[in-house]
Amino acid sequence: MRLGATIADYISSSDPQAHVAECQKQGYRASPCPEVSLDQSARIREIKRVFSDADIVIAEVPAWVNPLHPDPVKQRTNRDIIARALALADELGAVCAPTVVGSYNEADAWDSHVGHHSRNFSRQAFDDVVQWVRQILDRVNPTRSKLSLEICPWTLLDGPEVYLEIIRAVDHPGLAVHLDPANLVINPRTYYGTTEMINHCFDQLGPRILSCHAKDVHYTLDARTVGIEEVVPGRGVLDYATFLTRIGKLSPDMPLIIEHLANRQEFDEAAGFVRRVACQVGVAL
C-alpha cells in the first residue's frame, strides 16, 4: 500500500519538485497530481519525470464537479471538466480520475451540504448516471488510467450494490472503484459495525477497487437525531485494522490518500495513526 495525502491543502507551492520534496519528507509514496492543465505539455512531462524518479505514484486527478447539474450549460461544462481530468490522468499515468455521480440540486458545489435532492435516488438518476459515465468513457477511452466514482450518501451511489449495478450497466473497462468507507457510515447500525461494512465493500467490489481515501467519523455530540461528522483518522470509529488489511490483500501499490484535514499537524497525526495500525496488522507502507 502507498500512503499519501492531499498535501496541496497545506503547502503553498504547486511546483512538482515541491510536492515530491514534501512527499519524501513525510514518507508518502503516493499523491494527488499537482495543479496542471491538459494543454501544458511541458509541465505534464516534468510532473511525470519528477514523480517517477522519486517512485511516487500519482494517485488521482480529481474532478469534483456536478455532472447532473440541472442547468444544461453548467452540466455540459462540468462533464467537460471530468473528461479533461480523465484525459489528463491517462496522459500522466495516474491511477484514476475520481468524481461523484452528481446531484439534481441547482447548487454547483458537489459536497454534502448542498447536494441533496429528492430525485437523486430515482430510476431516472440511475439512467442519467450511466449515460454520462458512458459518454465520458467513450469520449476519452482511457488506456492507462480509470474513471472512478466516490460513494456519497446524498447521491444515487450510496453503497457497493449500486456501484456494481452502475459498473455492469456502463460495461466499459475504463470504469473502476474508488473507495472511501467513511462515506458509507450513514446510520447508527453502520456506525457501530464498520468492520462488517468494510468487509462487505471489499467482498462486493474486490479487484475493481484501485484507490482509497483515508478519513474517519464520529457522532455529533449535539445531534438530536443522527449526526455524523468527519474527524482525523484515529479519533473516530472506523476499523482501520480491517481497512488496511483488506487493502494490503488486494495490492501492495494501492494508494491510500489522507484528505479533508485542517492543517499539517492534523495530516501528521493521521499519517502517524495509519502507520501504527499498518505496523500492527503487518501491512507495508
pTM here? Answer: 0.95
Residue 55 binned pLDDT confidence (cut-offs 50, 70, 90): very high
Whether 163 shows a pLDDT value over 90: the answer reads yes
pLDDT for position 217: 97
Instruction: Give the DSSP letter string of 83-122.
Output: HHHHHHHHHHT-SEEEE----S-S----STTT---GGGGS
Cβ atoms of 175 and 138 within 8 Å: the answer is no
Coil/strand/helix, residue 123: helix
Whether 108 shows a pLDDT value over 80: the answer reads no
d(CA 53, CA 19): 13
Structural domain range at position 180:
2-281
d(CA 22, CA 198): 30
d(CA 58, CA 255): 9
pLDDT for position 128: 98
Whether 194 shows a pLDDT value over 80: the answer reads yes
Percentage with pLDDT > 90 across the chain: 91
Q: Which of 64-68, 133-137, 223-227, 270-274 has the lowest mean pLDDT?
A: 223-227
CATH of the domain at 130: 3.20.20.150
What pLDDT digit, counting tens, does each position of 29-41 carry? 999 999 999 999 9
What pLDDT digit, counting tens, does each position of 204-258 carry? 999 999 999 999 999 987 767 888 999 999 999 999 999 999 999 999 999 999 9
pLDDT for position 64: 93
Count of structural domains within the chain? 1
Average pLDDT, the chain: 95
Q: Distances in Å between the alpha carbon of 75 and those of 66, 79, 80? A: 7, 6, 9
Single-letter code of the amino acid located at 265: Q
Coil/strand/helix, residue 255: strand
Cβ atoms of 246 and 209 within 8 Å: the answer is no
Half-sphere exposure of 61 (CA within 13 A, CB side): 27
Cβ atoms of 234 and 216 within 8 Å: the answer is yes
Supply φ then ψ for residue 77, to 5 degrees: -60, -45
pLDDT for position 114: 58
Q: Which of 85-89, 110-114, 196-200 has the lowest mean pLDDT?
A: 110-114
* 210 Cβ contact list (under 8 Å, min separation 6): 95, 96, 146, 148, 176, 177, 178, 251, 254
d(CA 254, CA 1): 5
Whether 112 shows a pLDDT value over 50: the answer reads no
Grid coordinates of 100: 461523484
Higher pLDDT, 188 or 226: 188
Percentage with pLDDT > 70 across the chain: 97
**For the CA atoms of 269, 270, 274, 276, what is the dihedral angle to 10 degrees?**
10
Average pLDDT, integer, range 82-102: 97
Average pLDDT, integer, range 173-179: 97
